[in-house]
Structure 1
Amino acid sequence: MAVSKKKVIESINAMPEEEFVDIDVLLERIMLLNKIEAGEKNIDEGKTYTTEEAKEKLSKWLQ
């Protein structure tokens, strides 16, 4: 899923001038928007975990 041009422009316009120091800041913001959109799509498609399922998956990582 790609971030829409409209959202990228909105994000640029919402950034305070002092944050817009280089392209890396903008790219990080675009990547974050892309991840948020992907997460929202997963929620809409029911691709989520219950709290118990998430705890079980995380417990394997935290051992």
Structure 2
Amino acid sequence: MKKDTVIEALGSFENEFDAEKLIQKLLFIEEVEKGLKDVKEGRVHNYDDVKEKFLTKWNQ
């Protein structure tokens, strides 16, 4: 995560805030960034394949 991202997240809070909420927001941002990187690098699952796997598993 870049420092600018942390500063931007921090700037979205009021002058006084719960540190736990900042940590939760930073963790959320980090997970979104990881997901976007996965998409960019082709590490994704085809919707139809996931749907078929789900239906097969739950229809047993």
TM over 0.5: yes
Unaligned runs of 5+ in 2: none
Q: What count of residue pairs does the alignment treat as equivalent?
A: 57
List runs of 5+ in structure 1 lacking aligned partners: none
Find the counterpart in structure 2 of residue 11 from structure 1.
9
Give the % identical residues.
Answer: 28
Compared CA separation, residues 8 and 57, structure 1 to 2 (3 A): farther
Aligned equivalents of 2:11, 2:33: Cα separation in 1? 19
TM-score (norm 1): 0.74
Aligned-residue Cα RMSD (Å) equals 1.9
Deviations 1:4-47 (A, max 9, x none): 111010011123x18x5311000000000100110010011000
Highest RCO, 1 vs 2 (Cα 8 Å, sep ≥ 6):
1
> Where does structure 1 differ by over 6 angstroms across 4 or more consecutive aligned residues?
none
Q: TM-score, normalised by structure 2?
A: 0.77
